[in-house]
Structure 1
Amino acid sequence: MTLVITAVRHGQSESNVAFEEALRTERAVVLEGRDRDVSLTPLGREQATGLGRRLAVGDPPDLVLCSPYRRAVQTWELAAAELGAAPEVRLEPRLGDCDMGRWSGMNPIALRERFPGESENLVARLYGGFRPPEGESFQDVADRVREVHEELRAGHAGRRVLIVAHDSVVLMLKHVIEGIPIASVEAFAPVGNASVSVWRGSRSEIFNEVGHLRGTRTR
């Protein structure tokens, strides 16, 4: 029997807004608090509700694996209210966002100011295996995502699994499931807030779909 995985990114978060505004105004930003504690914005909550309506179309999931980060949990809770079903739900730490370590909460301008030369071309370097101090590379994310995927293939064949997580996790799922080289996955970014991606076995059916969010901003 074929494993069907639907992966969604959380709705717009407070850090998404802060970083977008910093990019627009070209200023350095360093967010306080833990990345895992960042919440959804009002728009993010609206997106999560729209996501729930989209997931309610067709066969609902019978197993949900959710990142323990607050923004992912909030997204699932709001989406679940629209489903009309009660699937098995597990918080899965291996589906957390890419850990930027001591660089967490800093936008590129802040990184350049604090670590001249070290943070140049950071995204490309993360795909290439670079780890920020006490943090992770995208290969590290791929390794933990692969563990989860192998467990699903071995123990949950035939189930409809929903993964509620982050852009880095969705991209690494594409790498792991489809066998796309990790350096090539960057071409599929950015993954939109509250977007939907679906794999049936090793075949991609949908990737980064946001049509259900018409009428709202998707980032």
Structure 2
Amino acid sequence: MTGVRSLEWLILTRHGESTANVAYAAAHDGLEEIDVPERDADVPLSPAGQKQAAALGRRLAGLPPDERPTAVLASPYTRALETARIALAELPDTPVLQIDERLRDRELGVLDRLTPAGVRARFPAEAARLARLGKFYHRPPGGESWADMALRLRSAYRDLDLDHPGGRVLVVAHDAVVVLTRYIVENRTEQEIMEIEKTPIVNCSISRWRRRGGRLAPVEYNDPSHLPDPLIMAEED
């Protein structure tokens, strides 16, 4: 893998269910825009999301001592920070929580809060560009493509390698971050990662990679077994 070579463990989780997740799940056919009052960075956890975060913390606390995180990095978005803080409260030895803006969710620009129906109705040219370019390379006006996200994540993981050699790092972020980590760590192709992306990342599920033979190898992916009633949410965050 390019960048992350010295980490012993890389552990990723998506934030707990957010109020925006609830709004997207309740959206009816034909709805063009989701009614979320906060800006994306300020969307909080739902009550269910808070319970999921606590369950995540218990799962981490139950790991063998030599597999528990020694450092924790989180997206600056409220739903990720809330998840990290609730989960860390369950650990016997609480690592210091660090914020890294490179772990934030994908920027959607003018398409923010729009459903697929809303994109087709309000930005038909962008809908056509998306269909032509594909999800991985389409960059909406004012937003990012998946490839753009991969660039900033590679930078973040290179710094993890420098700052935590031999460490066990927990990253609390977003579904696109979890999926793109497979793209980076496992040297996947565009076609492979877009196929993987079709399976939604469960809120507060666990994905882990362990260093073997000089590189990080997958141990588990999108595992929700620690959650009492795992909810697979829509891809919108």
TM-score normalised by structure 2 residue count: 0.85
Q: Compared with structure 1, are the counterparts of its residues 121 and 71 closer, same or farther at alpha carbon in structure 2 (3 Å cutoff)?
A: farther
- Aligned position for 2:135: 126
Query: Which residue number corresponds to residue 228 of structure 2?
Result: 214
Q: Which structure: greater helix fraction?
A: 1
- Residues in 2 aligned to 1:2 and 1:90: alpha-carbon distance in whole angstroms: 17
Matched, 1:199 2:209: yes
Aligned to 2:33: 29
Q: Which residue of 1 aligns with 2:78?
A: 70
Cα distance in 2 between the residues matched to 1:26 and 1:57: 44
Aligned to 1:92: 100
Decide whether the 8 Å contact of 2:129 with 2:138 is kept in 1: no
Letter in 1 for 2:22: V
List gaps (5 residues or longer) in structure 2: 1-5
Over the aligned positions, Cα root-mean-square deviation in angstroms equals 1.9
Residue 176 of structure 2 aligns with which residue? 168
1:12-59 deviation per Cα after TM superposition (whole angstroms, max 9, x unaligned): 11111111111x444222434311111111111111111111111123
The match for 2:163 is: 155
Structure 1 match to 2:3: none
CA shift, 1:119, in A, is 2.1
| Equivalent residue letter for 2:31 | R
For residue 22 of structure 2, what is the aligned residue in structure 1? 17
What secondary structure does 1:112 align onto?
helix
| Displacement after TM superposition at 1:216 (Å) | 4.5
Aligned residues: 217
Distance apart, 1:2 and its partner CA: 4.6
Where do 4+ consecutive residues of structure 1 move more than 4 Å?
Answer: 120-124
The answer to whether the Cα contact below 8 Å between 1:194 and 1:218 also exists between their aligned partners in 2 is: no
* Alpha-carbon separation, structure 1, partners of 2:229 and 2:38: 32
Q: Distance in 1 between matches of 2:128 and 2:45?
A: 29
Change (3 A) 1:45 1:121: farther
TM, length-normalised to structure 1: 0.92
Instruction: Report the Cα distance in structure 1 between the residues aligned to 2:37 and 2:115, rounded to whole angstroms.
Output: 12
Q: Which one is further off, 36-45 or 181-190?
A: 181-190
Q: Residues 51-74 of structure 1: CA distance to partner in whole angstroms, max 9, x if unpaired?
A: 111111123211101000000001
